[in-house]
Amino acid sequence: MTSPAPRSTTVLYTVAATCAAVGALLWVRDQTSEPPRVYRDFLAADIYTPSAWRVWSRAVPEDRLGLYLIAAGLVLAVAGRLISVRRG
């Protein structure tokens, strides 16, 4: 009979899944976004588009940040697996 997973393993898996999900969403968002349209006469409110909001800095594009978060999620999942095997 196997014992339940320790709390640290559950936390690591949760953080890993969150990192991977946010990373995948950022990567997909950057792949599917269009540049904002600029019209000759527009109001200040018209320039806002959902993809105009920057999540990170200009030095790290959102697709690269997404890939970093996916990689961090994988590393945390492997660490959680190693902890569960070592304690089990």
Q: Does the structure show a pLDDT above 50 at 65?
A: yes
Q: Does the structure show a pLDDT above 70 at 77?
A: yes
pLDDT the model gives residue 71:
96
Instruction: Render pLDDT for 28-51 as a digit per residue (tens, 0 to 9).
Output: 888 887 665 555 555 545 555 555
Instruction: Give whole-number Cα distances, 72 to 40, 68, 77, in Å.
Output: 44, 6, 9
Q: Chain centroid to CA 88: how far?
A: 30
pLDDT the model gives residue 1:
44
Q: Residue ranges per domain, the chain?
A: 7-87
Residues 60-78: what's their mean pLDDT?
Answer: 91
